[in-house]
Amino acid sequence: MKLCVPVPCFFNGLPFEAAVGKAAAAGYEYVEIYGWKQLDFASAKKALADHGVTLLSMCTTEFSLTDPARRGLWLDGLKESCDAAAALGVKKLITQVGPDTGEAREKQRRSVVEGLRAGAEILGSAGVTVMIEPLNTKVDHPGYYLTSSAEAFGIVRAVGSPNVKVVFDIYHQQISEGNIIPNVTQNLECIAHLHAAGHPGRHELQFGENDYKNIFAAIDKAGYTGACGLEYSPLLDPEESLAEAKRLFGK
């Protein structure tokens, strides 16, 4: 399992370039970010190249797929985000699908599918994969539409594009549904990236109820070749936390 450092979780107060240096010093080859508009692209690319670090993913600018009236905003944001990804050498974008609008769920699901289908040409031309993210509504994201991994996988299959996948966040899905190993290993063709955190608390993996050594071993055995972002708020010093994650879970 390749481990990835979400920069805002560990080095939110630092310039991106300095954060990349700290991640590299801790032995990490991969980082991810959320918002990208604050970056100086030339400086960011130089820091990544200098440290031998890859920026794996960042977020789209709009999270509005459940509402067909806002689809144009999402598509405009997708195009802008794909252009930014091309400039930074990023191949994956994360998008949340948006809030539950109160409309019938089937109508909202159809809006999500149609929006992703409309974005598939943009993604294909850019060589970028967009990843929808199921989130939990019990602790962190009340009012969000997509909580079920099964529904997320169904949406990806309905869209039918190799450039539309799921980011499977083990923390969120542990809260929402559990059954982590089967849900991941039986749907690897739909998953492009993983996130992880300990539950409860969303801290280090070793401080929660999940046996991440067993989870990661099962996912590796199933043939997953992607990365897992350590998307948690560290209780330890950030650099100590990364070193411990590398010792316990890295390769």
Question: What integer is the mean pLDDT of 19-48?
Answer: 98
DSSP letter string, 69-120:
GGHHHHHHHHHHHHHHHHHHT--EEEE---B--SS-HHHHHHHHHHHHHHHH
Write the pLDDT tens digit of every residue in 167-179: 999 999 999 999 9
Give the DSSP letter of residue 205: G
Q: Domain extents for the chain?
A: 2-249
The yes or no reply on domain 2-249 and CATH 3.40.640.10 is no
108-160, pLDDT tens digit by residue? 999 999 999 999 999 999 999 999 999 999 999 999 999 999 999 999 999 99
User: What's the whole-number mean pLDDT along residues 93-108?
Assistant: 98
- What's the CA gap between 230 and 177, in Å, rounded? 20
Q: Mean pLDDT across the stretch 25-43?
A: 97
Which residues have C-beta within 8 Å of that of residue 248, sequence separation ≥ 6? Answer: 205, 206, 212, 213
- Residue 230's H or E segment, with its range, is strand 227-230
State the Cα–Cα distance between residues 116 and 34, nearest whole angstrom.
Answer: 20
Given a cut of 80, whether residue 251 has pLDDT beyond it is: no
What DSSP designation does 68 have?
G
The angle subtended at Cα 221 by Cα 176 and Cα 229, nearest 5°, is 50
Q: What are the backbone dihedrals phi and psi of residue 115, each rounded to the nearest 5 degrees, phi first?
A: -65, -40
**H or E element at residue 48:** helix 41-51
The span from the CA of 227 to the CA of 229, in Å, is 7
Q: Which residues contact 91 (CB under 8 A, 6 or more apart)?
A: 56, 57, 85, 127, 128, 129
The structure's pTM equals 0.97
Query: Mean of the per-residue pLDDT values for the chain?
Result: 98
> What's the average model confidence in pLDDT over 89-102?
98
Which tens digit of pLDDT belongs to each residue from 208-243?
999 999 999 999 999 999 999 999 999 999 999 999
- Binned at pLDDT 50, 70 and 90, residue 250 comes out as confident
Residues β-bridged to residue 166:
132, 191
* Cis peptide bond prior to 6, omega within 30° of 0: no
Average of per-residue pLDDT across 95-102: 98
Considering Cα of 122, then 98, then 110, then 166, what sign does the dihedral take?
positive
